[in-house]
Amino acid sequence: MGIEIYLYVFFTLLAIFIFNGVNFEKFMKRGKVIEAKLLVLTLSFALSYLLTNFVLDFIQ
């Protein structure tokens, strides 16, 4: 159980770093900066969940 938390944190930070390179404000309405940041955060959590489960299944 201990390695899962480290993987979640690592992949979440990695996904946030990756998604910060994409300008989501162009896909959103003008002036919706907070919503764009929440989209990045949500996508980061989703990607980290998928990557963590993939790595854990791959290891076992």
pLDDT in tens, the chain (60 residues): 688 999 999 999 999 999 888 887 778 888 888 888 888 899 999 999 999 999 999 988
pTM reported for the whole predicted model: 0.81
Separation between Cα atoms, residue 21 and residue 43, nearest integer Å: 13
What pLDDT sits at residue 27? 80
Domain limits at 48?
A: 2-59
Q: Which amino acid is at 33?
A: V
Instruction: Round to the nearest angstrom and report the end-to-end CA distance of the chain.
Output: 13
- Counting the structural domains of the chain, the total is 1
